[in-house]
C-alpha cells in the first residue's frame, strides 16, 4: 500500500488537521481512566508542533447524537489531558466546521467531538469540503476508525490539498503489510474469542494463507464439536459446525493444520471461585465447561509459536481473566515473547492479555484497531486507507 506519510512532508507554517483516535474510557464523573490512545497520538502532534505547523486535532468520543453536544460527549477532559502531556495549553474549539477561529504556528487546538457534527457518520460531502477548507494538510492518525467511511476519516481526505497518514497510521499499515503481504514463514494465526460467527470471514481468509491456525475459546469448542468431540455445557455454536469443518478442510487441502486441544481445563461455572480440573479432551463430561486448554496442548501451541516466522494474534485461548483458566493464554504469551518471529497483535482481549502477562515490550507490533485490524486481515478494503492511497500521487 502506498500512502503519503506525515514525516515526509514539510509542515512549516502549514495548517494541519489531524484526525486522531482519542476515544478513551471515562468514569461517571468524566475522569479519564486510561489514556493509552491519547499517548499514542502524541508523536504526530509533536512532529507538527516542533516543525512549526498550526495544529488542529479532532476525534470522536462515545456515541453522541449528531447535532448536539451533551456533557458526556465533550472532549473537554481530553483537551486537559492532552495539554498536560504536551506541557502546553490546548484550547477546545466548539462549532468549528465553518472556521472563524485562529491557530498560530506552534499552537495546537482540539476541535470538539467530530461525531456531533451533522453528516459525519454518513460521510456527507458538503461537510467534508468545509473541513478540508480549514487545512493545508490532512493527517489521518486514527487506524481504529479506518474501516468506517466518515467525513473526518474518508471524505476530507478526498478534498484536502494534501492527505497523508500520521505516524500511528503509517506504523499500522507497515506492520499489517509485513504480516500479510510477504510474511516470513511459517505464518501462524491465533484466533480466539467466544463465537465463530463473529470471526467466520477471517477464519476462512486465514485458512487460505496461514501454515497453522490456532483457535481458542468458544471458537475452539465449535471446532472440537466438528471433530466429533463432546464438549458438555461449553460455549459453542453447533449450527456452525459445518463452517468449522470447512475451515479445517481448506487447511488440510493445503497441507496446513488447525491444531485442536488434546487436553482441557474444565469447571462447572465461570467464576473466580470455580474449581478447575485438567482432563484429556476425550473425558469432558455432560456438565463440564471448557474454559482453557490444558498443559499438553499449551506445550504443543508453544512449540508451534517457537518455530513461527510470523505470528498474527487476535484473541486468548481461555478465560484468562480468572487465574485458574489463564494457563494456556499465559504460556502462549510467554512463547510469543520469547519467539524470534515478527508478531502483530490486536483486539481488546488480546491487549488485556498482553498487559496482564507483561509482554508488551516483546510483541513486534500492537495494533490500536479492533474492527479495523480484523477487516484488514480479512483482506477487506478499509475506506480511510483507500482514500489516502487515492491521493498518493497528487
- From the candidates 67, 228, 255, 348, give the one annotated as an active-site residue: 348
Strands (E), the chain: 15-19, 54-58, 91-93, 108-111, 137-140, 163-165, 187-191, 212-215, 263-267, 277-280, 289-293, 310-314, 342-345, 365-366
Q: Is 275 helix (H, G, I), strand (E, B) or coil?
A: coil
CA distance 21 to 152: 11
**Is 217 within any annotated ligand binding site?**
no
**Is 58 within any annotated ligand binding site?**
no
**Is 70 within any annotated ligand binding site?**
no
Respond yes or no: is residue 348 known to be catalytic.
Answer: yes
**Is 204 within any annotated ligand binding site?**
no
**Is 62 within any annotated ligand binding site?**
yes
**Is 350 within any annotated ligand binding site?**
yes
**Is 321 within any annotated ligand binding site?**
yes
Respond yes or no: is residue 37 known to be catalytic.
Answer: yes
Q: Is 344 helix (H, G, I), strand (E, B) or coil?
A: strand
- From the candidates 19, 37, 130, 289, give the one annotated as an active-site residue: 37
Q: Which pairing describes strands 310-314 and 289-293: parallel, antiparallel, or unpaired?
A: unpaired
**Is 318 within any annotated ligand binding site?**
no
In 3D space, the residue among 116, 134, 110, 142 whose CA is nearest the CA of residue 19 turns out to be 142
- From the candidates 178, 195, 204, 380, give the one annotated as an active-site residue: 195
In 3D space, the residue among 107, 115, 151 whose CA is nearest the CA of residue 23 turns out to be 115
388 contacts: CB under 8 Å, gap ≥ 6: 3, 4, 140, 157, 163, 164, 165, 169
How many residues comprise the chain?
Answer: 394
With contact defined as beta carbons under 8 Å apart, do 195 and 218 qualify?
yes
Q: What cell was used for 355?
A: 498487559
**Is 37 within any annotated ligand binding site?**
yes
**Is 21 within any annotated ligand binding site?**
yes
Q: What cell was used for 170?
A: 503509517
| H/E stretch holding 157 | helix 156-159
Respond yes or no: is residue 371 known to be catalytic.
Answer: yes
**Is 39 within any annotated ligand binding site?**
no
Residues forming a β-bridge with 365: 344
**Is 15 within any annotated ligand binding site?**
no
**Is 275 within any annotated ligand binding site?**
no
CA distance 39 to 366: 14
Respond yes or no: is residue 15 known to be catalytic.
Answer: no
**Is 303 within any annotated ligand binding site?**
no
Q: What cell was used for 10?
A: 514539510
With contact defined as beta carbons under 8 Å apart, do 225 and 196 qualify?
no
Instruction: Please give the annotated binding residues for substrate, written as ranges.
Output: 21-23, 37, 60-63, 115, 148
Instruction: Please give the annotated binding residues for ATP, written as ranges.
Output: 199, 321, 347-350
Residues annotated as catalytic are: 37, 195, 348, 371
Amino acid at each position: 500500500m502506498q500512502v503519503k506519510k506525515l514525516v515526509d512532508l514539510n509542515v512549516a507554517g502549514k495548517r494541519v488537521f489531524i484526525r486522531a483516535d482519542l476515544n478513551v474510557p471515562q468514569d461517571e464523573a468524566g475522569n479519564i481512566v486510561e489514556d493509552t490512545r491519547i499517548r499514542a497520538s502524541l508523536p504526530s502532534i509533536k512532529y507538527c508542533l516542533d516543525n512549526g505547523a498550526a495544529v488542529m486535532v479532532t476525534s470522536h468520543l462515545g456515541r453522541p447524537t449528531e447535532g448536539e453536544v451533551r456533557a458526556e460527549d465533550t472532549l473537554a477532559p481530553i483537551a486537559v489531558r492532552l495539554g498536560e502531556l504536551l506541557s502546553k495549553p490546548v484550547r477546545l474549539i466548539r462549532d468549528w466546521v465553518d472556521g472563524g477561529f485562529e491557530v498560530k504556528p506552534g499552537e495546537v487546538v482540539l476541535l470538539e467531538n467530530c461525531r456531533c457534527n451533522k453528516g459525519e457518520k454518513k460521510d456527507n460531502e458538503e461537510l467534508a469540503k468545509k473541513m478540508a477548507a480549514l487545512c493545508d494538510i490532512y493527517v489521518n492518525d486514527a487506524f481504529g476508525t479506518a474501516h468506517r467511511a466518515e467525513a473526518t476519516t474518508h471524505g476530507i481526505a478526498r478534498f484536502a490539498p494534501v492527505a497523508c497518514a500520521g505516524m500511528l497510521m503509517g506504523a499500522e499499515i507497515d506492520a499489517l503489510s509485513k504480516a500479510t503481504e510477504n510474511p516470513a514463514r511459517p505464518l501462524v494465526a491465533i484466533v480466539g474469542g467466544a463465537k465463530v460467527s463473529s470471526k467466520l470471514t477471517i477464519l476462512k481468509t486465514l485458512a487460505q494463507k496461514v501454515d497453522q491456525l490456532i483457535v481458542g475459546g468458544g471458537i475452539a469448542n465449535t471446532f472440537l464439536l466438528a471433530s466429533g468431540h463432546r464438549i458438555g455445557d461449553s460455549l459453542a455454536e453447533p449450527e456452525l459446525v459445518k463452517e468449522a469443518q470447512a475451515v479445517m478442510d481448506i487447511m488440510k487441502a493445503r497441507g496446513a493444520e488447525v491444531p485442536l486441544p488434546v487436553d482441557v481445563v474444565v469447571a462447572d461455572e465461570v467464576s473466580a471461585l470455580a474449581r478447575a480440573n485438567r482432563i484429556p479432551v476425550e473425558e469432558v463430561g455432560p456438565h463440564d465447561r471448557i474454559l482453557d486448554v490444558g498443559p499438553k496442548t499449551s506445550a504443543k501451541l508453544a512449540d508451534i509459536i517457537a518455530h513461527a516466522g510470523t505470528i498474527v494474534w487476535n484473541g486468548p485461548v481461555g478465560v484468562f481473566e480468572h487465574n485458574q483458566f489463564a494457563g494456556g493464554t499465559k504460556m502462549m504469551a510467554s512463547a510469543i515473547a520469547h519467539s524470534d518471529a515478527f508478531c502483530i497483535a490486536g483486539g481488546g482481549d488480546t491487549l488485556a492479555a498482553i498487559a496482564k502477562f507483561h509482554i508488551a515490550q516483546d510483541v513486534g507490533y500492537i495494533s490500536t484497531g479492533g474492527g479495523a485490524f480484523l477487516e484488514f486481515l480479512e483482506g477487506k478494503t478499509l475506506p480511510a486507507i483507500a482514500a489516502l492511497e487515492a491521493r498518493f500521487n497528487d
